[in-house]
Amino acid sequence: MKIAIIDFRNEDNGLNILFPDADYYILEEEYDKSRLNSKYNIKPILHTNDTNVFELIDDEKYDTLFIICRLYDALEKYNGIVKKNFFYKTTYNYLLQTVELIKHNNFKNVCFFDNYDYDYDPNIVFDADVFKQPNLENKNRYKIDIQEKNIKFFKRYYNKEKTYKENVYPFPYITFGRQCNMEMITDLFYKNTNINTNEKKSRIFFSGTPLTHIDDEYGLIRNRKEMLLKIMTKLYVYNPLKIIPNDIFIEEMRNSKYSLDLLGVGDPNTRTFEILFTGSLKM
């Protein structure tokens, strides 16, 4: 089985670890420079600024195509409401080119690894206005038969209580992320693991950005700042509302009996796994 992996914005190397013999194409390498420091050191075949990636991939070279992207970012509207902050024209254009690639080839397997936190069925992206934009010369040009092309979706946030279509599967969050959590387990978190639980400081650790955002799926406003301030009035929280270097972040979390995991875009999120790996108790 010969695999081609297209990573829209250089967000993952979990698949690179799982499928080291696959050909890895990154469309935006500079999106997150921390990925370049990975000990797995992904070396993509080429980048968009070299030539057109999509012209080098076809069903004669590859029988399987993996695509890593945030499908939600390609939607200009969700549930009939225009998205103000989470629509990315670049992601949208990459998706259109990917659909063209799939339509003109007969890959045995096509899998989208949806690197987004919201709980939604990825099939809706291909039924939504993303392929019906008024500025497109042919509105049906990008329509695609998901069943005919054997397209499957793997989600990093999969709600067990929700019913998805049969082509949607859970995929462990641990393999996704700007710095792959799978990689972090074998790196930072296993250093100095002999810390005695009794020596941990009796404090709650939190360090990060107190985001406030609208959850389009549930129609909620998640106000992390307000939540954090309420907790701080009653309990001792270490390093609130600040960001510290990653190595210090890990050590301070490891030395804290408790760590705060505030509601964010997704559950679980990166912080969830960081807390579990460092042996702190998650709140």
Amino acid code (one letter) for 137: E
Question: What are the sequence ranges of the domains in the chain?
Answer: 3-173, 187-282
Residues 6+ apart with CB under 8 A from 258: 203, 204, 205, 280, 281, 282, 283
Task: Indicate the pairing of strand 201-205 with strand 256-259.
Answer: parallel
Residue 63: per-residue pLDDT: 95
Q: Which residues in 240-252 are b (16+ Cβ under 10 Å) and which e?
A: beeeeeeeebbbb
Mean pLDDT, range 237-265, rounded to an integer: 83
Cβ atoms 156, 116 nearer than 8 A: yes
Most confident option among 118-122, 133-137, 165-169 = 165-169
pLDDT, tens digit (0-9, with 9 covering 90-100), for 188-211: 555 555 556 668 899 999 887 777
Q: Residue 1 corresponds to which tokens in the numbers above? A: 């089985």
Strand, coil or helix: 26: strand
Strand, coil or helix: 102: helix
Q: Among residues of the chain, what percentage have pLDDT more than 70?
A: 73
Strand, coil or helix: 250: helix
Residue 160: per-residue pLDDT: 75
Residue 127: per-residue pLDDT: 74
pLDDT value at 9 more than 90 = no
> CA–CA separation, 17 vs 23, rounded Å?
12
What DSSP designation does 6 have? Answer: E
Q: Where are the beta strands (DSSP E) in 44-93?
A: 64-69, 77-78, 81-82
What's the pTM?
A: 0.74
CATH no. for 3-173:
3.40.50
Kindly give the residue spans of alpha helices, DSSP state H, lying in 147-221: 181-185
* Chain centroid, CA 254 distance in Å: 25
